[in-house]
Amino acid sequence: MNSSLLKRLVYSISFSATMLALTPSFAQEKPPVEIFFQNASINQVTMSPDGKTLGMLVATKIGRVQLATMDLATKQARVVGGFANADIGEFHWVNSDRLVFSTSDKQKAQGEQRYFPGLFAINKDGSDARTLIERIWFPDSTAVSSIKTKTLSGFHSFLEVDDSPGSESVFVTEPVFNAVYDIEAQKLKRVNTKTGEVETFSRPGKSYTWMIDHHGQPRITVTQDAGIEQIWYRDPKLNQWKVIAESKFFGGDNFEPFDFGVDGSLYVLDRQNTDKTALYRFDLEKNAIDPTPVVAIDGYDFSGSLIGDLAKGKITGIRYQNDAYTTLWLDPQMKKVQAAVDALLPATINQISIPRLGLAKTVLVRAYSDVQPSLYLIFNIETNQLELIGSAMPAIDATKMAMQDMIRYKAKDGLEIPAYLTLPQGGKKNLPMIVLVHGGPYVRGASWGWDAQVQFLASRGYAVLQPEFRGSTGFGFKHFQAGWKQWGLAMQEDIADGARWAIAQGIADPKRICIAGASYGGYATLMGLAKNPELFQCGVNWVGVTDMNLMYQSNWTNDSSELWQKYGMPMMVGDPVADAKQLTETSPVELADKIKQPVLLAYGAVDRRVPIEHGRSFHAKVKKTNPNVEWIQYNEEGHGWALPQTRVDFWTKVEKFLEKSIGK
């Protein structure tokens, strides 16, 4: 990339905040809906272990996502893996010369998928291709290539690369099914990507997760049986498995194996009698956690990753999340590299990746912000020069996006609720607002950064509030546990309190607030309309739960695991017997006659997480007493919209619905 173009890029990013303030006319322009919801042009950019080559997924002229590599010395790129009738799903570097990749199909919705993702191996120059895991599932499936050297059936799944020195192998798992065809365990296998040779490892019980050390040896496995979870460690001296921790499944205990350091140390997550989870080193000789945490984040549970240098045999950095992602560099040289990159790109989060085998002449930078989708750049540590590789969403103009902040408000009982607030350009007070409720619900909803849905709504003039209501994870155990058995109750009040806060601050026009969300967010949308008609003038629910009791029915249309239904749901959602009355009273389908506001409902016909019966039964009841109900059904979509054309169609309909309901 030439220097003048790079300067313009840096200028655009660095001064986007200033330009937002200086150019109110941008607020009147509406970027086309299509640019927000296309698939990424470039994705999963990673460096080879020796730092000499980039691998990346790129959208090509044939309309398919393919695997490309770029020689960093010559900057020459070439497509090395791909098919005319399938996309590449994800890829990984096995070593500095060889990669593995799976397939997907971005031109088909979930209901049209008729294959396993498979696993293929190939050299970085496109030679020596080999099928490791079969892709074909049903007889009418279309083969993606003529590679016939398959090794394993399609039921196998990629786990991780064996990154031990000189390795050509990857680890895969094979499910073990019980009598009702639910997965009860995972077998672990190592597959040589050159020869196809397979090694199967022993397991001490019903293993469902595995951890591999940096010498290519399985050292940790977690088993479950009869509601009890055991964490096992295989001692390399004795070559035997032993239990190092035990707890009830979904019991709220927070001891969790996290990762092995490149020096062989085991790192774990634990609360250690506090409210927040921190990162600790686990002493395998003493079978005890070190008393001092490696990283503890004020106000947040630890969530992140270790950055290791195999050449030096040590951890060089730790990436973690608070309101946004940041990197704690332990290596002095990397601190200097980070400072140099941040000086060139001061308005973005700049995540630096170093090669697996140690720092080379160049590092990879992923730069992004609330207004800027991911940019991928190469930074030369010798010349302090940046070169742009590509943009995930090149059609997005950062100067026309809206800025996002994390705020906190108090719920009625005093619990502090974190939330992200995005205001449209030129708007600060008395705005139409969307309360966007995340799914899960027992997950973290958002992180600071560019979000297509949020930015689209803001581009249409709406403020967007994303509450991390009680039950959301990442903000401590008290915040998480406060949401147990609180569907439609305290969790719902947290969301309503967010709308009240925005009104009190003068941000939201009290007569123009809409609630929206998918999955659990769709459930909360309908409950919000029923319980708080004084706050919410309309609702947009896609793939949302409407009948709590339907969630407990096990059949082929429901993909909830037996473990979750037997142990997790009774504890965290509600017991179907002891809490039967509450489950009924907090089911939107039982409250349909109370909802008089305009409602948009959208469902996928092949959704196995929230089967379409949830939508159909609610729609049948609500339309009897509410004439302002819109129904959208995507016959081949599942739990969310896989296809860009579906996303564009849906959000075009949402835009019209909102304009009619709470627009100008």
Paired sense of beta strands 183-192 and 198-200, if any: antiparallel
Residue bearing tokens 């365990």: 185
For position 582, what pLDDT does the model report? 97
Low-confidence ranges of the chain (pLDDT < 70): 1-28, 111-115, 136-150, 251-253, 554-559
For position 57, what pLDDT does the model report? 96
Q: What letters, b where the CB count within 10 A reaches 16 and e where it falls short, cover 373-401?
A: bbbbbbbebeeeebbbbbbbbeebbbbbb
pTM for the predicted model, two decimal places: 0.92
CA dist 5 and 72 (Å) reads: 19
Peptide bond just before 441 cis, omega within 30 deg: yes
Residue bearing tokens 């070559």: 239
Give, as one character, the DSSP assignment of residue 555. S
Tokens matching residue 193: 């990507």
DSSP letters spanning 221-242: EEEEETTEEEEEEEETTTTEEE
Tokens matching residue 104: 């997907």
* Number of Cβ atoms within 10 Å of the Cβ of 181: 9
Paired sense of beta strands 314-321 and 325-329, if any: antiparallel
For position 399, what pLDDT does the model report? 96
| Nearest Cα residue to 402 out of 371, 357, 380 | 371
* 596: β partners: none
For position 557, what pLDDT does the model report? 56
CA dist 344 and 375 (Å) reads: 14
Give, as one character, the DSSP assignment of residue 190. E
Domain boundaries, the chain: 402-662
For position 28, what pLDDT does the model report? 57
Paired sense of beta strands 240-248 and 228-235, if any: antiparallel
For position 237, what pLDDT does the model report? 84
User: What strands, in cross-sheet order, belong to the sheet with 304-309?
Assistant: 304-309, 314-321, 325-329
For position 25, what pLDDT does the model report? 37
CA dist 371 and 455 (Å) reads: 8
For position 530, what pLDDT does the model report? 98
CATH number given to 402-662: 3.40.50.1820
Strands (E), 424-529: 431-437, 463-467, 508-518
